[in-house]
Amino acid sequence: MRIDKLLSNLGIGTRSEIKKMIKQKQIKINGELVKNGKDQLDPDSAQVSINDRPVAIQLTKYLMLNKPQNVITATEDAFQRTVLDLIAPDDLVKGLAPVGRLDKDTTGLLLLTNDGQLAHRLLAPHKHVAKTYQATIDGIVNDDTVVRFKAGVRLKDGTLCKPATLKIISVVEKDNQSEVEITITEGKYHQIKRMFAACGMHVATLNRIAMGPLNLDQALGPGQYRPLSENEIQALLKLK
């Protein structure tokens, strides 16, 4: 990682301010004066000092990714492309990992962070963090389906799901398709697909648009990502 980018991410100053500090011979990496803001370092092992005072390097990353299809939610895989393969090298800090998982063919909002405590809180079953999806369903979703979701769908294997909110966006009877929005507060394996399967329907497409207070940025195209804003980070950290 570039030294100017690292120090900027740590809140030491803007890149222009850091450039000025370098000119004034204030910054060292492993005891050697930095001569250029583009100088590279390993944040996990480098020792950085400003005016001979050590700088604590602890980068916490919070990234919002619009996950595309055919990418797996994993940190590494020998054969398939993972969500971390979509992240630029400068943003690949130690411990960065997806929070939860989306199926290979499911798209939309995915949070990546190296904040393990936050990830645990978001995924803990007793926290009931809401997750909202938009879906195209092969089948006609009606008011009876909405009531069934509200009561808690029993899956084909007998598992009873917690109550979920199902909203009908549109129904095209001639195509036997429905557009819906679903909010669940748990994360069973293939849960939404299995819930609709229990109702005799098939999920054609599934796109996550929200997780807790975090909403998918519509400006992000498939495969694009951005850092969370400070307001978004604080909203997640306030979850209890």
Which residues, other chains included, contact 126 with Cβ-Cβ below 8 Å and sequence gap of 6+?
Answer: none
Task: State whether 109 and 223 are in the same domain.
Answer: yes
Question: Does residue 44 have an active-site annotation?
Answer: no
Task: State whether 148 and 100 are in the same domain.
Answer: no
Annotated catalytic residue: which of 103, 105, 138, 217?
103
Q: Which residues pair with 133 in a beta bridge?
A: 182, 208
Please check the confidence at residue 57 and state whether its pLDDT lies above 90. Answer: no
Task: State whether 42 and 26 are in the same domain.
Answer: yes
Q: How confident is the model at residue 240 (pLDDT cuts 50, 70, 90)?
A: low
Q: Which DSSP state fits 47?
A: -
Task: State whether 138 and 203 are in the same domain.
Answer: yes
CA torsion sign, 65 to 68 to 71 to 72? positive
Task: State whether 47 and 98 are in the same domain.
Answer: no
Question: From CA 146, how far away is CA 190, in angstroms rounded?
Answer: 19
Task: State whether 205 and 135 are in the same domain.
Answer: yes
Task: State whether 218 and 111 are in the same domain.
Answer: yes
CATH code of residue 119: 3.30.70.580
pTM of the model: 0.78
Q: What total number of domains does the chain contain?
A: 3
* Helix locations, the chain, DSSP H: 3-9, 15-23, 116-123, 143-151, 191-198, 230-237
**Burial annotation 191-200 (CB, 10 A radius, 16+ → b, else e):** bbbbbbebbe
Q: Which DSSP state fits 57?
A: -
Task: State whether 29 and 141 are in the same domain.
Answer: no
Task: State whether 16 and 34 are in the same domain.
Answer: yes
Q: In a 10 Å sphere around its CB, with 0-12 CB exposed, 13-18 middle and 19+ buried, how is residue 83 labelled?
A: buried
CATH code of residue 134: 3.30.70.1560
Tens digits of residue pLDDT in 128-183: 899 999 999 999 999 999 999 999 999 999 999 999 999 999 999 999 999 999 99
Task: State whether 146 and 188 are in the same domain.
Answer: yes
Tens digits of residue pLDDT in 64-76: 999 999 999 999 9
| Residue range of the domain that includes 228 | 62-126+213-237
Q: How many CA atoms lie within 13 A of 146 on its CB side?
A: 10
Tens digits of residue pLDDT in 76-118: 999 999 999 999 987 887 789 999 999 999 999 999 999 998 9
